[in-house]
Structure 1
């Protein structure tokens, strides 16, 4: 096939048998990890012990809005559209004619990441939803700025869906 397969997710408790240990990724890095996999439409293969999931890891792995981005029926992968210093913006076109937007901070300090709609091929007022927080951020006219923690990511859905029922191809 033609699907990205960057290997298993390293969240939660990892290892085998008596040698289980907590992932070495911070909570923000785990969010970044799953955000990138979801934007790439990659298989979400788990490398953790499912019998010892903590609440944070369970919430990461079961967020339906993030899973929807990964499993979007259009099957497109995101592309990096902006890179400024240690920050990156990735855009993924979705079947309902909205976009998923990943804002990544690879740096050691919290960063304010700004994006203009014109840089994404958008115009006019756009509704924005934070998929990890599962809340609407409001309507934005020309773009937006978001504070992203070090090694962190924010996953947004931008635009008003033009389709509501997927009937297949």
Structure 2
């Protein structure tokens, strides 16, 4: 019997490497780029969704295997607070192109910076209006960790910018009290 704080999202299976598209006359296959596959994994983790993979793991490239076994991003997905992430900014709705998504965790926040313009690398900023949606005091220092580089990125307060995010790519950060 379920006794948690809420339900879990189910956007469906994650596409690992190949997406089969077919019409009645001829099947076709379109390959996802590594950036698109990792962005999908990041987004599912921000949405607190089930991480169900739709392909045979024995056929994964090293990059795909690294994507689906990243313990830091899986921890975001499975955070015990169970809160779903939400979009803080969207292209055209802020001073920064791209999107920033945020998810409250039991011990901080996860931020996802997503370049959805598809044409060039861009800088994506979580400015003061974006930052305010976390509820973190803009004067409070927080530690920033890049969950894909497995690297601490220093500390900040009130805003954060990720530089040169490639098309269809995303960067996931975790913010914790300094």
Instruction: Select the residue among 120, 126, 132 that pairs with 1:118.
Output: 132
Aligned-pair RMSD on alpha carbons? 2.1
Distance in 2, matches of 1:49 and 1:115, equals: 37
Partner SS state of residue 57, structure 1: helix
Paired residues of 2:19 and 2:32 also in contact (CA < 8 A): no
Paired residues of 2:145 and 2:174 also in contact (CA < 8 A): yes
Shift of 1:26: 0.9
For residues 151 and 51 of structure 1, do their structure 2 counterparts lie closer, same or farther at Cα, with a shift above 3 Å needed? same
Distance in 2, matches of 1:159 and 1:53, equals: 33
1:2 maps to: 7
Partner SS state of residue 177, structure 2: coil
Q: Structure 1: which 5+ runs fail to align? A: 16-20, 162-169
Matched, 1:95 2:106: yes
| 1:16-165 mapped onto 2 (5 Å cutoff) | 24-85=31-92, 87-96=98-107, 98-107=108-117, 108-116=119-127, 117-122=131-136, 123=138, 124-147=140-163, 148-160=165-177
Deviations 1:133-160 (A, max 9, x none): 1111111133211021111111000122
Distance in 1, matches of 2:87 and 2:66, equals: 27
Partner SS state of residue 80, structure 2: coil
Paired residues of 1:41 and 1:71 also in contact (CA < 8 A): yes
Shift of 1:53: 1.9
Give TM-score, length-normalised by structure 1: 0.83
1:167 maps to: none
Distance in 2, matches of 1:46 and 1:22, equals: 17
Shift of 1:118: 3.4
Give TM-score, length-normalised by structure 2: 0.79
Distance in 1, matches of 2:18 and 2:132, equals: 42
How many corresponding residue pairs? 155
Q: Structure 2: which 5+ runs fail to align? A: 1-5, 21-27
For residues 22 and 67 of structure 1, do their structure 2 counterparts lie closer, same or farther at Cα, with a shift above 3 Å needed? farther
2:24 maps to: none
Shift of 1:84: 2.7
Shift of 1:29: 0.9
